[in-house]
Amino acid sequence: MEVLQSVLSLIITLGILVTIHEYGHFWVARRCGVKVLRFSVGFGKPIFSWYDKKGTEFAIASIPLGGYVKMLDEREGDVPSDQLHLAFNRQSVSKRIAIVAAGPIANFLFAIFAYWLMFILGFTVIAPVIGDVDDQSIAANAGVVSQQEIVAVDGNATNSWQSVNLGLLNRLGDTGKVELSLKGANQDSPTTIVININEWLSDQEMPNPIGEIGIHPYRPQIPPLIGVVSEGGSASAAGVQPGDRIVAVNGNAVDDWMDFVAVVRASAGATLTVELLRETAVVTVDLVPQEKAIAEGQVVGFIGAGVQQPQWPDHMMREVHYGPIDALTAALDKTWGDTVMTLSSIKKMIEGLISVKNLSGPITIARIANSTIQSGLETFLSFLALLSVSLGVLNLLPIPVLDGGHLLYYFVELIRGKPLSEKTQLFGLKVGISLVVMLMFVAFYNDLLRL
């Protein structure tokens, strides 16, 4: 069931982003006087299609991993003499640049809209208050203590653990100093500490920067109450039910959910005798955690059950909500920040400062999309916006076969006064296809390893 949900989530996510991207090409092409033959969401044989009054075919194709806009072009077939003025290749170089650039621009505009809508609707975040600090850790040696709130990373304000994490992820592979601004409950102004880094987390596949510096987010004590039981899991097979309270495991009392999680993770394949309080009766079940690989050579136990979410203290909750104008400003800032982070990550990957294991393909996207859809509209909008920015940036890379490669050719033509030779363009196309196929292979390989 989860696999089906992930596939549907991938189709929805890519369907939205591809449609936005290709509509950018389509909309500008129409206004530049180019005849559009087909607007396809997906590749391969169309599942169904229809035509508009201008003769453009709109199609939904069978392979939902992209899309394209096919325009009238002499390089791709014969063009009737009375329609030569409608062909893409007959347009001025400035019009061709506008048509090609419109796809990525549409992705950036959509990201701004998604963030704007997210800020208009409003959402709640948990303040980034520190719980525990590991002894002899980077944070402890820098003077970080429990109950302080992280109010800024490198001078950029943070109002949630997500923003703290993103601020630290921006420094992956860097050498230098990271500044954390911290504020205690009784402090009027924050204090700034400096953390020294050297090619920070450059070799890690799934970096956890907050944990790496030795900080653990504050969390309220979580009662060991079962909130949800997944079908097919060992908890369901043992008869565990939502609402059960875990009293003891193997005769040892359990007062906190995370203590129970620690026992389960360390007991893959072993039999646990679990005492449950169900209404007023104590029920004993034998539970065998299933094995789950989380990294190469590392296996943990899991039972397919979730906790009943606890209530956070009111002072830890932050409402984020803006009016239309402020929301637009915040959306522009967020989109710009995502763009800079994406470009920086690409640069660091090329320099070898970030592992290529961080590349993700459709399998990872499907899993994250499914998770964000289930988490609510705000989370899904944020994911869509970030993915849309990534799609826009990647398409603008000067690699032939991508929009950025075509733009490179057209700008060279604009400077030279004539296009590059077909032989040069064909060679660039072959190189571009090879690069894209190689990156796709690495992304798929990483996805399979994560499974």
The residues carrying an active-site annotation are 22
Contacts with 93 (C-beta within 8 Å, 6 or more apart), sequence order: 410, 413, 414
Taking a C-beta distance cutoff of 8 angstroms, is the pair 302, 265 a contact? yes
> How many whole angstroms separate alpha carbon 287 and alpha carbon 292?
15
> How many whole angstroms separate alpha carbon 29 and alpha carbon 9?
30
For residue 56, give both structure tokens. Answer: 């453009």
The amino acid occupying position 191 is: T
Three-state secondary structure readout of the chain? CHHHHHHHHHHHHHHHHHHHHHHHHHHHHHHCCCCEEEEEEEEEEEEEEEECCCCCEEEEEEEEEEEEEEECCHHHCCCCHHHHHHCHHHCCHHHHHHHHHHHHHHHHHHHHHHHHHHHHHCEEEECCEEEEECCCCHHHHHCCCCCCEEEEECCEECCCHHHHHHHHHCCCCCCEEEEEEEECCCCCCCEEEEEEECCCCCCCCCCCHHHHCCEEECCCCCCCEEEEECCCCHHHHHCCCCCCEEEEECCEECCCHHHHHHHHHCCCCCCEEEEEEECCEEEEEEECCEEEEEECCEEEEECCEEECCCCCCHHHEEEECCCHHHHHHHHHHHHHHHHHHHHHHHHHHHHCCCCHHHCCCHHHHHHHHHHHHHHCHHHHHHHHHHHHHHHHHHHCCCCECEHHHHHHHHHHHHHHCCCCCHHHHHHHHHHHHHHHHHHHHHHHHHHHHHC
